Structure 1
């Protein structure tokens, strides 16, 4: 276990090996490009997800201080204890950026030698993305940088591990913090989906009610929701199938359904429960289901 994590660097969500490469590798004579921490402001914040073996994981990045952004990664056990942590420094150095990190056990004993660390040299900085040698940090969606980040690391074998985080905040609540086992997580996330569906149904019912005098339109709105449910089942069923060999498959499938349901409720609200002028919406704007 320790061997691949030493190569991997920042660890986040459960990893999957992808055919398309997210990482880049620089030749020995590569000259790192000019870059500053100001180009990395999208990384600042608290990021949460599911890590090794389906156990919770979290990572935080502070704003720059003295030419350095400090990050902390925490991997928990299935029982909620600390499994290991990482201390990360993203630094301005000689006009470019370099990422350095050290691993620590739960008792704060280090993995590396006292003065040892892992160092990743910069290859390129792009919109909402930074490519280091064998390591990538990027926004999951550059159009919505606050929603989540992706970290990818290249292994000695040539394969690649990709990790995904969601943002922790008022619009992205941490779900099921007290769930300690896979069964607990599945049960809790199923409850979140039930709440998301309950709200979707309430917003849908209101939309149909407001268009009761236009029965054909009301029928189309209802039919569109039935089509959404069929699509959700197919899409999130595919996600479940993709993760079927991992204990996290239930949470991944449910997370997909929750996200799609929240987006569907927002669509109903935007299309049928708001007005073009300053008239207040019929129902409050729906937020992410906690």
Structure 2
């Protein structure tokens, strides 16, 4: 792990994977404090966790928000290896870099990766797992909606930040919300042609289209959930496109010891929709450890 100076309040951290990919993250809080790893969803970056990470750092935790491979400042993989097991392998490697076992908080893709890490039973390198709007069994219609949105603007990109903001508002049904250029800079990159494109490798979404609901992936995730022995919390947005009541029922059937919280008024992006409620829910879970 290499550490460099970062923006005030955070420390830039990097982790080298066994296939040469380097992951970039930011750490908040004291380096010897109990660690919490924050893994974002597909198509996002570590900045999705900014307020949560800062809050955790101020509360006495060492919060590390990662850019997963192919996202943000982390390396793209030349061979397009963006399978869920690969993300899980990366997260496992990062979790083993600390002097004490971390709690893993994962949203969507990051949650699937965290589940594979925690699903190693007694060998799991973590002491708690928080899954943010993700379960092994999810609603395929919601997946189609998300992947459709991501793929729709993948090649041509956007002419301006306002155009990108309008597209996001249309997807989230929040038309009329003002564009936040500073925030969008964290999720978009400017190409040589001057157009703005998402800050992730297009190969990531191509792989999702062909493998997202593969039976072997579902079986692997369900097997991992059944093997989890650490405390686990599932947080669902009440308006989620992915996790419906059937998903939750199946989840609790496999892991009856898990805690479950439903966040009213939130969709799949719980942290962005109801950050205050999510932060309080996370605080309660962490204090219980």
When the two structures are superposed, what TM-score results if normalisation uses the length of structure 2?
0.26
Task: Please identify the structure whose Cα radius of gyration is greater.
Answer: 1
Structure having the higher strand fraction is 1
When the two structures are superposed, what TM-score results if normalisation uses the length of structure 1?
0.26
